[in-house]
Amino acid sequence: MKLLIIEDEKELAENIRSYLSNEEIICELANSYQEAEEKLLNFPYDIVLLDLMLPDGNGLDILELIKQKNTGIGVLIISAKNALDDRIKGLDRGADDYLTKPFHLSELNSRMKAIFRRRKFDGRTYLTFEEIKIDTANHEVEINDKLIEFTVKEYELLLFFVTNKNRVLTKQTIAEHLWGDNVDFLDSYDFVYQHIKNMRKKIINAGGKDYLKTIYGLGYKFSV
């Protein structure tokens, strides 16, 4: 997957690049409107991470440019503005998703991969992790080739873990992924625990191994 990060805050762009360095992703950075325009015209990309506020131009114009080229590039807007119309404006003009700063890198990773799946395979793709197979088009989970009934939240949770495998996910990150702003931290930690307990039970009951490691007091890690 080839990724272009258009973000004037170099530290933030660097964060994203380091976070994604152990995935199979080629990252390139553009710190300004001009640089972004040049790179987009000369190289092919699968996904563009787009900051709307650039020092020398408006990110929405870059979005326009990408859509004109009509290359099937997926666009994920990252912006400090959470103004509702900014969000709607971006999505109206053909962005695939919108992420408000500050975001968790794991959340960014998961959203980005979702866009990639939709774009590249029209959503018809299976994510596999050992004996677990996730059909992202139909939101179905198979373990040892057996279809297992997952609730919406359990499915989202498993998908989040699999796309961020081998990474530490804090309870806070998981809660925000599942519910956004609708819960407060303290409540949500219990809620996260309940879902994780159920998900883990379903995997083990279906003959799967327990890949979920509890990181002391902090969160969880999904790894072999």
Partner 1 sequence: MRLLTKTTIFYLLLMMLVFSIGGITIYRSVKKVVALETDYALIYNFQIIEAALKKGQELEDLLTDKVYVNKLIGLPKIDSSFKFSDTIAIHPQLKRPEPHRKLTTSRLINEHGYHFQILEVFIEEGDVLDGVVNVITRLFLVLSIVILVFSFLISKKLFQPFQDILKRIGHFNLKSDEDLILPKTTTKEFKELNHFIESMTSKARQDYLSLKEFSENASHEMQTPIAVAKGKLELLLESEDLQPEHLKLIQSAQVSLSKLSKMGMALSLLTKIENQEFSNQEPINFSKIVESAIFDFKEICELKSLTIETNIAENIKLKIDGALADILVGNLLKNAVHHNWVKGHIKVTLNSDKLTISNSGEKPVIPTEQLFNRFTKNNQSSSTLGLGLSIVKKICEVSNLNIDYYYENEEHILKILFP
- Which residues of the chain form contacts with partner 1 (CB under 8 A)? 9, 11-12, 15-16, 18-19, 80-84, 100-106, 153, 167-168, 170, 172, 176, 179, 181-187, 190-191, 194-195, 215-219
Shortest Cβ 145–partner 1 spacing (Å): 29
- Least Å distance, CB 87 to partner 1, is 10
Minimum CB distance to partner 1, residue 9 (Å):
5
Among positive and negative, which fits the CA dihedral 119, 120, 125, 131?
negative
183-206 per-residue burial string, b: 16 or more CB within 10 A, e: under 16 = beeeebbebbeebbeebbebbeeb
Nearer to partner 1, 7 or 46 (CB): 7
Q: Which is nearer to partner 1, 144 or 182 (CB)?
A: 182
> Least distance (Å) from partner 1 to the CB of residue 40?
22
Distance CA 56, CA 179 (A): 35
Minimum Å gap between C-beta 36 and partner 1 is: 17
Question: Closer CB to partner 1, residue 41 or residue 216?
Answer: 216
Q: Toward partner 1, which CB reaches closer, 130 or 187? A: 187
Query: Rounded to whole angstroms, how far apart are CA atoms 196 and 19?
Result: 24
Cα distance between residue 219 and residue 76, in whole Å: 27
Residues 196 and 202: their CA atoms lie apart, in Å, by 10
CB of 49 closer than 8 Å to CB of 78: yes
Using left for φ > 0, alpha for ψ between -120 and 50, and beta otherwise, residue 15 falls in alpha
Smallest distance, partner 1 to C-beta of residue 71, A: 28
- By beta-carbon proximity to partner 1, the closer residue of 38 and 190 is 190
- Kindly tell me which of 136 and 173 has the beta carbon lying closer to partner 1: 173
- Give the span between the Cα atoms of 89 and 59, in whole angstroms: 11
Q: Which of 72, 116, 66, 63 is nearest to 93 (CA)?
A: 63
